[in-house]
Homo-oligomer: A and B are copies of this chain.
Amino acid sequence: MSQNTACADETTVPPDETRCYCPLGGVMDLLSRKYAIQVVCVVGALEPVRYGEVEAAFGEVSSSTLSTRLDDLTEAGLLDREQYDEIPPRVEYRLTDEGAELRALLDPLLEWAQERDGAA
């Protein structure tokens, strides 16, 4: 999809900084999909967590969407999916180390968002 070339010009930013203020591809693309950020935090908060629990954490999400999101994050190496072959089937999600790093960054964001939206 939207392949990106990082910043147009690194020099737009203070010369000594290697930082790019607009990384577009990769993780950021993922996080721009619906529920993505929230899923990371929900899993982090409830892990190990089963599919149904995640679904319950959100009020109204279609299973197709949620499972897509879960897959995306798993593929990206942010979630770890453990499947137990029992009946009924059970699946547990938890954060990978990278996922945990990310969660640490995202959690404050959700907290802020919640306060702000509520205090509106």
Interface residues of A (CB under 8 A from B): 2, 4-9, 12-13, 19-28, 31-39, 41-42, 45-46, 53, 56-60, 98, 101-102, 105-106, 108-114, 116-117, 120
Check if B8 sits within 8 Å of A57, measured CB to CB: yes
Q: Which of B5, B35, B109, B112 is within 8 Å of A24, CB to CB?
A: B35
A4-B59, A59-B4, A59-B7 known; A22 vs B41 contact (CB < 8 Å): yes
A21-B42, A105-B109 known; A116 vs B26 contact (CB < 8 Å): yes
Check if B113 sits within 8 Å of A28, measured CB to CB: yes
A32: nearest residue on chain B (CB-CB)?
B32
A12-B56, A106-B109 known; A37 vs B42 contact (CB < 8 Å): no
